[in-house]
Amino acid sequence: MKKSIPEITLNDGLTLPAIGFGTYKLNGNHGATGITSAIDVGYRLIDTAYNYENEGTVGEAIRRSTVPRNELRITSKLPGRYQEYEKAVTAIQESLYRANLDYYDLYLIHWPNPKQGHFVEAWQALIDAKKWGLIRSIGVCNFLPEHLEQLEKDTGVKPSINQIELHPFFNQEEQRRWHEQNNIKTESWSPLARVNDILENETITQISKQHNKSVSQIILRWHYQLGSIPIPKSSSPERQHENLSIFDFELDETEMAMMAELTRPDGRINDQDPATYEEF
């Protein structure tokens, strides 16, 4: 069933739906079935990465679906081990071959890995790949303000999006404000905090009863009202549909304030602080 999803315009003019679909752990035939279902249900923004080893699966799901390619927004990401310029250029091409696509709508640097000192080179590769028509919009993940500032200082080009860990237990208030002030869109990874114990959270359960909605729907609606694009992953068509059904109700100021109370300084799922954490 198709849902009407609001559109967001990035600083380079590309439009994205206000909610997307995560694909981490959706691999092989099971993954392709899950992603095709998500497209059927109404998702148009699909998030993959070189390191998820499922760009091929995403490509297969696109071919199985009846939705025209130009109505989809496909994101992939450059791994840390390919941040040097020549390696990055090759990895972007390899990403496309794996998915059997001509272009990605969005391509992101997966982690800054600041100790390695190569993220500006990687950024230059993304800038060039965009000029060559391989990518429509370029962004990053897990970049702190100091990393974002360096990109713009060294290349004059600002990312369109920064995809960061964001959920009720880690609401990234300061980083979101910084993005807003600098016209960079926020995208939320693990928007449901991987559901570990969040589904039983008392505050969110209380709000969900008020609206006759599920806990997941309250959380995803909260992301939308914060101005961030959540990309929940689900392998089940029912939960995919549930997660998309968030545009027919609104959280009021009191409820938003109650949600804000849930954040904790140590609320990251796996303690992955981009200042020190590295992923290759």
Ligand X SMILES: NC(=O)c1ccc[n+]([C@@H]2O[C@H](COP(=O)([O-])OP(=O)(O)OC[C@H]3O[C@@H](n4cnc5c(N)ncnc54)[C@H](OP(=O)(O)O)[C@@H]3O)[C@@H](O)[C@H]2O)c1
> Which residues are catalytic, by number?
52
| Binding segment (CB under 6 A) for ligand X, from list 57-65, 84-92, 154-162, 232-240 | 232-240
Spell out, one character per residue from 194 to 223, where the chain touches ligand X: x when CB under 6 A holds, - when not: xx--------------------x-------
Among 3, 11, 12, 24, binds ligand X (CB under 6 A): 24
The CB-of-48 to ligand X minimum distance in angstroms stands at 7
Beta bridge partners of 71: none
Does the footprint of ligand X cover residue 51 (CB under 6 A)? Answer: no
Helical residues (DSSP H) of the chain, grouped into ranges? 28-41, 55-64, 85-99, 119-131, 145-155, 173-181, 202-211, 215-226, 237-244, 253-260
Does the footprint of ligand X cover residue 79 (CB under 6 A)? Answer: no
Does the footprint of ligand X cover residue 235 (CB under 6 A)? Answer: yes
Candidates 45, 30, 1; CA nearest to 191 is 45
| Binding segment (CB under 6 A) for ligand X, from list 6-14, 61-69, 143-151, 235-243 | 235-243
Cα–Cα dist 175/156, whole Å: 21
C-alpha pair distances (Å), 18 with each of 4, 53, 127, 227: 10, 25, 25, 9
**Comparison of 47 and 255: residue with beta carbon closer to ligand X:** 47
DSSP structure string for 68-101: -GGG-EEEEEE-GGG-SHHHHHHHHHHHHHHHT-
Does the footprint of ligand X cover residue 239 (CB under 6 A)? Answer: yes
Does the footprint of ligand X cover residue 127 (CB under 6 A)? Answer: no
Does the footprint of ligand X cover residue 170 (CB under 6 A)? Answer: no
Among 142, 160, 186, 208, binds ligand X (CB under 6 A): 142
Residue 248, token pair as written in the block: 């027919």
